[in-house]
Amino acid sequence: MDAPVESDAVPDRINGVYVSNIEKLLTVLQLRVLKVLDAHRFFEEHTRMRNRIGSNNLTEALSHMGRIAESAHEMTEEQQREQITHLEDHLRRTMMESFELVARARLGRLRKDGIVERYQTQVVPLALRGKLPNIKPLEEIEALERDTRHWMEEGRKRKHHHRWEDWDHGAECLAKACESANELDSEMRKSVGAAQDYRRNQLFMWLAVLALILAAAGIGVAFALA
């Protein structure tokens, strides 16, 4: 009996998953997952809150991988590719929305803590009179606000694009929004602190002057009665 002829043909599927889709999936995991996880951690480290939106998106991403593995034999090549597309979309959301949420959290906290209002009512009038020379100039604070909103808008524009290149660019824009929002948060709080110190020092100075006046008045009365 002739020995069976070994085939050199490459299988088009492995465990039901088309080889082309395996290659696509591995490329996504190789190039994207670590970057996405870094963004996920970035949110939690900078807000000290659990990134629920990021966690939900990561769970959804894994569910699409599970669906391919579980139902591969029942899927066409295109149906499998569609699951990978959904996987990419959830990874993209985790990456981009984590940066966006940090920037939004910074701006929201400034308003929630009353820093924006105190900056406008306490810092601006003193700065315009040149009483706070050591704080960041008003125009630079305004520039930080504009930059934060500009980078957030540029990042948001790219959330609905369809290429990783656009998503990466969008994530970079949102990361820049985080940086400028962080700086804005820090500088506004320093400015408010400086304004409060100035007013406190002014109060102490006037109290000291008043004390001297009262002391002088007391001495005058004592001499008059002597």
What tokens appear for 1 in the block? 């009996």
What pLDDT shows up at residue 198?
Answer: 87
pTM of the model: 0.70
Judge whether 111 lies within some domain: yes
pLDDT per residue rounded down to tens, the chain (226 residues): 455 544 455 578 898 999 999 999 999 998 888 888 888 888 888 777 788 888 888 999 999 999 999 999 999 999 999 999 999 889 988 888 888 888 888 888 899 999 999 999 999 999 999 999 999 999 999 999 999 999 999 998 887 777 888 888 888 898 889 889 989 999 999 999 999 998 887 776 666 666 767 666 666 555 555 5
Judge whether 43 lies within some domain: yes
Judge whether 24 lies within some domain: yes
What tokens appear for 136 in the block? 């960041």
Residue among 98, 116, 110 at smallest CA distance from 181: 110
Judge whether 160 lies within some domain: yes
Judge whether 4 lies within some domain: no
Element (DSSP H or E) covering residue 184: helix 164-225
What is the total count of domains within the chain?
A: 1
Angle at 40 between CA 38 and CA 46, to 5 degrees: 95
Range of 100's domain? 13-225
Cα–Cα distance for residue pair 128/79, rounded to 1 Å: 63
Judge whether 3 lies within some domain: no
Residue 202 neighbours by CB distance under 10 Å: 12
Rg (CA), the chain: 31
